[in-house]
Amino acid sequence: MLVALTMLLSACACAQTPPDASRGVSPLHTSWVERPWELRYVLYVDGNWGLSKAVATRLQDEEGPVEKHRRWQTILDRTYFLPSRDKWASRDEGLSVIVIEFDKDGTVSSPHLHETSLRGRLDRLMRVSMAVGSPEQVQFELGEWFLGFGDASTHWAPALCNSGDMPSPFSKTDTGYLYGPAFLIGPARRTFGCREWAYQMGDPERPYIDVTSYIPKKLDPDGSGAYIRDSVGWARFSDPTKPIIGKHDNDWYCLHECPDGGEPGLIPNINDWARKQGWPVPKRPTRVPVFPDPPAKTGVYPR
Q: What tens digit of pLDDT does each residue of 174-209 get? A: 999 999 999 999 999 999 999 999 999 999 999 999
Taken in order 291, 296, 302, 303, the sign of the CA dihedral is positive
Better-predicted residue by pLDDT, 64 or 25: 64
Per the structure, the complete domain to which residue 269 belongs is given by 39-277
Residue 32 inside a domain? The answer is no
What pLDDT score was predicted for residue 88? Answer: 63
12, part of any domain = no
In a domain, 288, yes or no: no
**How many domains does the chain contain in total?**
1
Query: Would you say residue 78 lies in a domain?
Result: yes
Residue 268 is given by DSSP the state S
pTM for the structure as a whole: 0.88
pLDDT in tens, 137-185: 899 999 999 999 988 889 899 999 998 899 999 999 999 999 999 999 9
Q: How many residues does the chain have?
A: 303
Residue 184 covered by a domain = yes
DSSP 281: P
Is residue 18 in a domain?
Answer: no
Residue at 253 is within a domain: yes
- What is the arrangement of strands in the sheet containing 80-83, beginning at the earlier edge strand? 80-83, 94-101, 39-46, 231-236
Backbone angles phi, psi at 299, to 5 degrees: -95, -175
